[in-house]
Chains A and B, each alone.
Chain A
Amino acid sequence: MIEAVGLTKRYGAKTAVHNLSFQVRPGTVTGFLGPNGSGKSTTMRMILGLDTPTSGHVTIGGHPFRKLPNAPRQVGALLDAKAVHGGRSARQHLLSLAQLSGIPASRVDEVLGLVGLQDVAKKRSKGFSLGMGQRLGIAAAMLGDPQVLLFDEPVNGLDPDGILWVRNLMKQLASEGRTVFVSSHLMSEMALTAEHLIVIGRGQLLADMNVKDFIAANSTGFARVRTPDTEPGLAEKLTSALSEAGGQVVPEPDGALRVTGLALPRISDLAHEADVRLWELSPHQASLEEAYMQLTQGAVDYRSAVPPQAVPGMMPGAVPGVVPGGVPGAVPGGMPPQGYAGDPYAGAYGPQGGAPGPYAGQPGPYGAQPQGAPVPGPYGAPPAPPQQPQAQPQPHAAPADPTQQHSEDAR
């Protein structure tokens, strides 16, 4: 259990972290989200007693880190995968850390096997790829077999296999009852890995809630309606009919209509009454990435000159239900946020919406799963992470693409 109370860190005039209070509980993966420069790493360093907070405090198991008895056996951390002496071999690096913590040398070979680096253990880490470096960092964090684990951007620079490996590892560590605190700036990654989210922007807490609640609160369902493009005028006709009935209609670039505020059957009825045939009437979930961007928009320190519309996955028009820069309010229109898609991930990672998400290169695993279909995934059922009861299948836990079967999951 990590507990921060009123954590504040100022560097001169710049406030890196402001009055941050949160708890990280054991048994779940807690995602720590925020744009670059939002104070994630600073917070991590304060948790580890490396930086002293300007005010407030943070404890692990009730003790400040620097007073923690036998700290390296209780807390393991990956702060920066590049923080190794390039001239030292992976094994010597880990050995020096093990000796520093009073951990027997045999554990070094154990963790090397655990992260799959046993074959390059004698190689100097200078020649390691970013992914190998991350594995070495994760090995170092796990040396003491600690109950509390902190990972700062562990999937940075990893290929899809590596990302999947880290994801399963985090879940497994949490399922063993450990406290797992993972930072990332990728919402999509956290949605798949974490059960609980702590979102910060500009050093301030934006959200601290269950992932499902976060998704419910921050992403809205919508319907995509397509009228026959052979008959001009139908779209306009339907738009006015739907607007009259209280729906919000936004045209999409390819001619489809994005409708919010009306249930699917209602849209169908209205179209029928207006004598408009439909070529498409489909339920969608607004991209989580999009919702997260909306949420943190006011809190981004370093923004590119590209307008938000040009960001892949962003669509014209604001996402209803998300209050920019603040904790989102209720969804307008009386529509239940998950009214269309039973599976909140389906829309977020599916191929639709012109959103080539970060996993676009991986066919299948994050796409919409048929509801209730059995999922014979190669990664099926990692040792049952404690989940809140839920009806829907867990596509993130069991991607069903057999081509993904690699030795990555060897452990």
Chain B
Amino acid sequence: MAVASQVLTSEWTKIRSVRSTVWTLGIAVVVTVVMGAAICLLVKNDFESMPVRERLTFDATSTAFAGMGLGQLAMIVFGVLVVGGEYSTGMIRTSLAAVPQRGTFLFSKIAVATLLAFVVSLVTSFVAFSVGQSLLGPDLRVGLGDPGVLRAVFGGALYMTLITLFSMGVAAVLRSPMLSLGILMPFFFLISNILGAVSATRKLGRYLPDQAGQKVMKVVTTGDDVPYGPWGGLGIMALWVIAALIAGYLFLKKRDA
């Protein structure tokens, strides 16, 4: 355990001594909050002219989280840089020479980054929610005390954290930050959305990590035909994350550094 605490201290030093940490996490917060705020403002102004169906199924909570689709990309960059940076710089050899227990090394590293990501996500989620609600105005807004809202806001933080974890697992497998980003960014920005929108692949698409995970941020589920609930969706996402982390661990353990 002594080794784990050494890695934790060391990783904390590493993570706070590079600028990319501040940049990526900062962008994640700003983009999520600002985008959410902008959408809330637009919706508030156009609400009267929206179709009845949309007005009836309007979800004030998830509207405030509209920026998360973009904000999560910055979190992905953060996760990829934390793990992949070790490979792109060659530090991994120095690190593994110091800590031959590769599993301890990887998971302690991931733990530090995850904790930081969770704190940032929690702040992001609550700020995005309250800014969004205050912009939606008294007619549309919901409160944290309303049914399912607190779960959705807290779930939003968990979602951002899990997506960071997932990208760290993928980066541990692929090693190259460029390759990892080249796969993760288009996937979560485009491909997943396309798969979820096309009727032929929708049934498959909703089991993808981001689509399943995003369910937890929805409060109004009328007309929603997905076969899992908010926590079920987050559970599916967690399975993806666990699979990515196990793959990352196995690759690190077996492969030459």
A and B assemble together? yes
B14 in the interface (beta carbon within 8 A) = yes
Interface residues on A, range: 35 or more
B7 in the interface (beta carbon within 8 A) = yes
Interface residues on B, range: 20 to 34
Query: Which one of B13, B97, B256, B257 lies within 8 Å of A99 (CB-CB)?
Result: B13
B232 in the interface (beta carbon within 8 A) = no
Q: Are A83 and B89 in contact (CB under 8 A)?
A: yes
Determine the chain B residues whose CB is within 8 A of the CB of A50 once the complex forms. Answer: 93, 96-97, 256-257
Alpha-carbon distance between A89 and B96 when the two chains are bound, in angstroms: 20
Q: Are A71 and B91 in contact (CB under 8 A)?
A: no
Looking at A90-98, A278-286, A318-326, A344-352, the stretch in contact with chain B turns out to be A90-98
Looking at B16-24, B151-159, B200-208, B233-241, the stretch in contact with chain A turns out to be B16-24
Contact with A along B95-136 (1 / 0, CB 8 A): 111111000000000000000000000000000000000000
Alpha-carbon distance between A84 and B89 when the two chains are bound, in angstroms: 6
Q: Which residue of A lies closest to B8 (CB)?
A: A99
Q: Are B93 and A88 in contact (CB under 8 A)?
A: no
A303 in the interface (beta carbon within 8 A) = no
Alpha-carbon distance between A86 and B20 when the two chains are bound, in angstroms: 11
Alpha-carbon distance between A99 and B89 when the two chains are bound, in angstroms: 19
Determine the chain A residues whose CB is within 8 A of the CB of B2 once the complex forms. Answer: 102
Known contacts: A89-B17, A102-B2. The answer to whether A83 contacts B93 by CB under 8 A is yes
Q: Are A87 and B256 in contact (CB under 8 A)?
A: no
Q: Are A85 and B98 in contact (CB under 8 A)?
A: no
Alpha-carbon distance between A52 and B102 when the two chains are bound, in angstroms: 14
Q: Which residue of A lies closest to B254 (CB)?
A: A52
Total of A-B residue pairs, C-beta within 8 Å: 93
Alpha-carbon distance between A67 and B100 when the two chains are bound, in angstroms: 8
Query: Which one of B18, B93, B100 lies within 8 Å of A85 (CB-CB)?
Result: B18
Q: How far is the CB of B245 from chain A (nearest CB, A)?
A: 21
Q: How far is the CB of B116 from chain A (nearest CB, A)?
A: 15
A107 in the interface (beta carbon within 8 A) = no
Determine the chain B residues whose CB is within 8 A of the CB of A84 once the complex forms. Answer: 89-91
Q: Are B97 and A102 in contact (CB under 8 A)?
A: no
Q: Which residue of A lies closest to B20 (CB)?
A: A87
Known contacts: A50-B257, A99-B10, A101-B6. The answer to whether A71 contacts B17 by CB under 8 A is no
Q: Are B97 and A85 in contact (CB under 8 A)?
A: no
Query: Which one of A77, A83, A101 lies within 8 Å of B91 (CB-CB)?
Result: A83
Alpha-carbon distance between A72 and B2 when the two chains are bound, in angstroms: 14
Q: Are B100 and A97 in contact (CB under 8 A)?
A: no
A120 in the interface (beta carbon within 8 A) = no
B49 in the interface (beta carbon within 8 A) = no
B94 in the interface (beta carbon within 8 A) = yes
Interface residues in B1-55 (C-beta closer than 8 Å to A): 2-3, 6-7, 9-11, 13-14, 17-20
